[in-house]
Amino acid sequence: MRKIINDPVHGFITIDDELIYSIISHPYYQRLRRIKQMALAYLVYPGAVHTRLHHSLGALHLMQKAIEELRHKGTSISTEESQAARIAILLHDIGHGPFSHALEHTLVDVHHEDLSLLIMQKLNEEYNGQLQLAIDIFTGTYERTFLHQLVSSQLDVDRLDYLARDSFFTGVSEGVVGYERILKMLTVYNGELVVEEKGIHSIEKFLISRRFMYWQVYLHKTVLSSELMLVTILKRAKLLAQNQVALFGTPAMQFFLQHQLSLKDFQHDQNCLQQFLLLDDNDVISCIKVWMTHSDKVLSDLCQRLNNRHLFKVKFLTDETASEILDWKRQVQQSAHLSDEDIPYYFMQDATASNTYNEGDEQINILFKNGDVKTISSVDGTLITAGLLVPVKKHYICYLRN
């Protein structure tokens, strides 16, 4: 069998594997059509309405290209390994809930990778064990490490696709990544994924693009504001639901509003996972529209503001302004006539960070022509050794505008 998918970023994506096509057609995977890749970023960049399904298909395509390149350079990759690596990347984000990272620890307080693994295991049962090798690659337990590194590392096909895709749909050209050249520079040395020496500058460009996308797109002030408001709405709704206040909600939404669940709950109660697989962006959006007229003034007000894009203001803090937080909080409370009980919903303090490259994680390795292997952070003359890509953490306040 052979299926063709027309992708706006990569062009034609070929699906030539019956098992992979069956997984793509499965309701668990099709659910990703209803989860936006960039959560509420479309409130800043109107074109950013692409989905997790778009991204996972793109990552599948890049995995196919990477495997072809490694085989061309003499790395032996069996048909079974190729299929498993492609399934692993296809399903790497299947555990994302509504609005992706924005609600990851609010509506469902379980990491999406843990949920992805549970869903993959459930699919493995349905497919009579055919996904086991993909699960081993996904979890990093398979002996050929480079296959896992293609799925999850500081230079994986996941990052290559989402940077290219997000820059395309937002129109932010600074995020454009030369992923084709990077794939051409990949090779395997002593079982590990490495980059050929001539690809160093392409990797630097990749890291620069990642940094630009974080500060210009993912951590844009308006994006931070809208996502924090969404989190606040769900916290308020959960509080009301757990105090037996009547709230509109789809069955799946009601389930998660009324229960505080851990990973153990998902592991031991199949109903938790079944309810999660019924949950997507539409559940949350529908609730927010209905809650706009709820009798609880805080919930209805927050929902109206988010729905109509009347967002809170975000201000990044410095050492000089940090001491003024209490003054700002009092000003907001007085000007809006808010009670001590309500002010936490209208004045929030948080922090955000951009880890362009984390030297504490498994590093990107460079293979030199003489056979030496060095981490990119130890190569002289790179942006990392020059200290230009250090992690940055910013504290900020998010509050009701006057």
Instruction: Classify the phi-psi angles of 234: left when phi > 0, otherwise alpha if psi is within -120 to 50, otherwise beta.
Output: alpha
CATH of the domain at 48: 1.10.3210.10
Do the domain assignments include residue 389?
no
pLDDT value for 385: 65
Q: Are residues 267 and 316 in the same domain?
A: yes
What does the block give as tokens for 111?
Answer: 């990491």
- 284 located within any domain: yes
Residues 231 and 335 in one domain: yes
pLDDT at 118: 98
Domain containing residue 131: 3-218+361-377
Mark whether 336 and 260 lie in a shared domain. yes
Residues 34 and 166 in one domain: yes
CB count within 10 Å of CB 148 equals: 22
- 312 with 366, same domain: the answer is no
Q: Tell me what pLDDT residue 393 has.
A: 87
Identify whether residues 23 and 141 lie together within a single domain.
yes
Beta-sheet pairing, 192-196 with 365-367: parallel
Q: Are residues 265 and 241 in the same domain?
A: yes
Q: Which residues of the chain have pLDDT under 70?
A: 320, 360, 385-388
Nearest to 206 by CA among 181, 171, 186, 172: 181
Contact in structure between 215 and 193 (CB atoms under 8 Å): no
Rg of the chain over all Cα atoms, to the nearest angstrom: 23
Question: Taking a C-beta distance cutoff of 8 angstroms, is the pair 248, 288 a contact?
Answer: no
28 by Cβ neighbours in 10 Å (0-12 / 13-18 / 19+) ranks as middle
Residues 194 and 258 placed together within one structural domain of the fold: no
Q: SS3 sequence, 242-311?
A: HCCCCCCCCHHHHHHHHCCCCHHHHHHCHHHHHHHCCCCHHHHHHHHHHHCCCCCHHHHHHHHHHHCCCC
Name the domain count of the chain: 2
Residue 251 lies in a domain: yes
**Do 19 and 163 belong to one domain?**
yes
Amino acid at 307: N
Contact in structure between 237 and 257 (CB atoms under 8 Å): yes
Residue 30 domain-assigned (yes or no): yes
What is the predicted pLDDT for the residue at 386?
62
Residue 266: CATH number of its domain:
1.20.1250.30
The answer to the question of residue 308 being in a domain is yes
- Give the number of C-alpha atoms closer than 13 A to the C-alpha of residue 239, restricted to the C-beta side: 12
| Terminal-residue alpha carbon distance, the chain | 61
pLDDT given at position 388: 63
Torsion of CA 2, 147, 50, 95, to 10 degrees: 110
pLDDT of amino acid 247 = 96
Q: Are residues 243 and 201 part of one domain?
A: no
* Residue closest to 248 by CA, chosen among 279, 281, 288: 288
Burial 233-246 (b: 16+ CB within 10 A, else e): bbebbbebbeeeee
Domain annotation covers residue 328: yes
Q: Same domain, yes or no, for 100 and 244? A: no
Identity of residue 120: M
Q: How many other β-carbons are positioned within 10 Å of the β-carbon of residue 135?
A: 20
Q: Model pTM?
A: 0.94
> Per the domain annotation, does 185 fall within a domain?
yes
Cα separation values, 350 from 190, 225, 230, 347, Å:
43, 11, 14, 10
Check whether residue 193 and residue 324 sit in a common domain.
Answer: no
**pLDDT reported for residue 278:** 97
Amino acid residing at 48: A
pLDDT digits (tens, 9 = 90+) for 46-94: 999 999 999 999 999 999 999 999 999 999 999 999 999 999 999 999 9
Handedness of CA 48, 50, 51, 52 (dihedral sign): negative
How many Cβ atoms from other residues are within 10 Å of residue 125's Cβ? 9
Cα separation, 122 vs 158, whole angstroms: 23
